[in-house]
A and B are shown apart, each in its own frame.
Chain A
Amino acid sequence: MGNKIANRQVICDTLLELAQSDRDIMVLASDSRGSAAMGPFAQACPEQFVEVGIAEQNIVGISAGLAHSGKKPFVTSPACFLSMRSIEQIKVDVAYSATNVKLIGISGGISYGALGMSHHSVQDLAVTRAIPGLAVILPADRHETKRMTEALVNYEGGVYVRIGRNPVEDVYESADYDFVIGKAVTMRDGSDITLIAAGETVRVALDAEVKLKEAGVSCRVINMHTIKPLDEEAIIKAARETGRIITVEEHSVHGGLGAAVAEVVVQHHPVPLRLVGIPDEPAIAGKTKEVFEYYGISAENIKNLALDMLGQ
């Protein structure tokens, strides 16, 4: 696919474009304008940019104050710190006070590779999705990131977005498709089993589908880009129509996408379900592909799991 554009770059480009005509759009950084790829925005729109320094509690509080005053703040800060160091500000100042703050967690999951558990963000979905009223979104590729960013500007309310660090392979051919917050996208239809993924693992699930097709398995792939509000209908339908589900996530298996899907499945249409993700341990260091392989977040492992569930 050869995509060289990281999702963080797409967010900057899209916001920069929209900010020319919408002066209420603001971008905040916590000494992270480089890692968030927001340097060009800071340069082009200094009046719509706020540097807060290395202070994640402060960046959320200040954003809530700006939002209260009619601004549309986009906080860009490493996902590991933004989601957990400031979680009380997210709970009280953003969600409870109903302020229109967009929290963009950059370099999420294990994309900080060798920097270790302090910099990995594989608990962020568990904590953010427990907060009432906060939407949680993981775009899959650059096209979805663009559509999501456009949607966020017009969405009233608090949102936590998690993106990775490096360019990811495209899963869409273009940005010309229907992106709706809270509405899952069925990437491939199928009847034997469903793979549900979000963010960068959508690519892995699609690759697994190809392998499964070769093995004669009809596999559905759902891109659950919005973890909250969760598209329960798509999950129940998949459980009913395919009878088996595998979730694939770049997150601890505790409290993330798999857990969210399991909550729905077990209450509405219990079927066999397997969770692929990071186990309950400090994740191993390495490049995304290496870490994914190590934990079985790979097309080959998912294919084998699926075949096992199908008794083949």
Chain B
Amino acid sequence: MEIIELKAKAAQIRMDLLRMIHGAKAGHTGGSLSNADILTALYYRVMNLDPARPKWEGRDRFIASKGHAVESLWCILADRGFFPKEELETFSQFGTRLIGHPNNKVPGIEMNTGALGHGLAISVGMALASKRDGRGYRVFCLMGDGEQAEGSVWEAAMAGAHYKLDNLVGIIDRNGLQISGSTEEVMGLDPLDEKWAAFGWNVISIDGNDMEQLVDTLEAAPTVPGKPTLIIANTVKAKGISFAENVPHWHHHVPSDEELAQALAELSAVLAGYQQEGQVR
């Protein structure tokens, strides 16, 4: 998919997930909106995947360590054909498999996550297996910035560098907010880049809502032989809705009817703009 199409796709995913959250009256809205561009880049362009064969051995692996922001992922997996789109209506409802965290009963989900600080260790194991078997697939692990306070993240960071896993790509959705306020108020992380570099990772900082930068960086990663790559994707929490951006309570706020209507209006204008631009090209 071309950049302009990816931008349009991300806008559509944002609209899908807002409708889904509004319908279910549940969801982690802010973090799913902030990571929508990252996941769009990965699932429509960067990762080697086959929705018809979700367990194909050569596939790249994705682990959503910040599992609570699964809404963008459900919408993307449905849109890519891993399961029927109508199933999105069951999100968070009684007995559904589309629960509020990744669930490996759903095609396209590798592992169950949700408890924070687990994903990177799992990814290290996968990347290590890829290396030992000479398979060559890549492993992408998306973490939250608040999640960096979990000590287990750093245990895994050490192991990733120790085993020179240059097929492993960590991504931090650096939106600066967690449930109780800003990450720097709750538990200071900066200088986050220096911390990861000190742990032996190749660190790259980008604008995580800029599709060109995302695609360029993710496609090229990992770029340093013998080192895992850590991408600090600086994003805006609740990105895409003017009145929700950077507002902490949108972490798990469910939009009202009016808020949904206004958000969809904003996003459809953005989407129409990209579609028009795409046609002109």
Contacts and interface: CB of A to CB of B under 8 A. Distances in A.
Interface stretch (A92-100, A119-127, A222-230): A92-100
26 contacts: A47-B132, A50-B128, A57-B121, A58-B121, A61-B118, A61-B121, A61-B122, A61-B156, A62-B121, A62-B124, A63-B125, A64-B121, A65-B111, A65-B121, A65-B127, A68-B110, A69-B126, A69-B129, A69-B130, A69-B133, A70-B129, A71-B129, A91-B115, A92-B113, A92-B115, A93-B121
Nearest to A96: B112
Contact of B159 (A52, A93, A97, A99): A52
Interface of A: 47, 50, 52-53, 55, 57-58, 60-71, 73, 88-89, 91-93, 96-99
A68 B112 contact: no
B26 to A, nearest CB: 20
A97 B128 CA distance: 19
Q: Binding site of B, secondary structure by majority: helix, strand, loop or mixed?
A: helix
Closest 9 CB pairs of A and B: A65-B125, A61-B121, A69-B129, A58-B155, A62-B125, A55-B155, A65-B122, A65-B126, A66-B125
Contacts of B111: 64-65, 68, 93, 97, 99
B125 A61 contact: yes
A225 B175 CA distance: 50
A68 B118 contact: no
Contacts of A68: 110-111, 122, 125-126, 129
A58 B159 contact: yes
B125 A97 contact: no
A50 B165 CA distance: 13
B107 interface: no
Interface of B: 104, 110-115, 117-118, 120-130, 132-133, 151-152, 155-156, 158-159, 162
A66 B128 contact: yes
A88 to B, nearest CB: 5
Contacts of A88: 115, 118
Nearest to A88: B115
B199 to A, nearest CB: 13
Contacts of B125: 61-69, 73
Most buried by A among B104, B129, B158, B159: B129
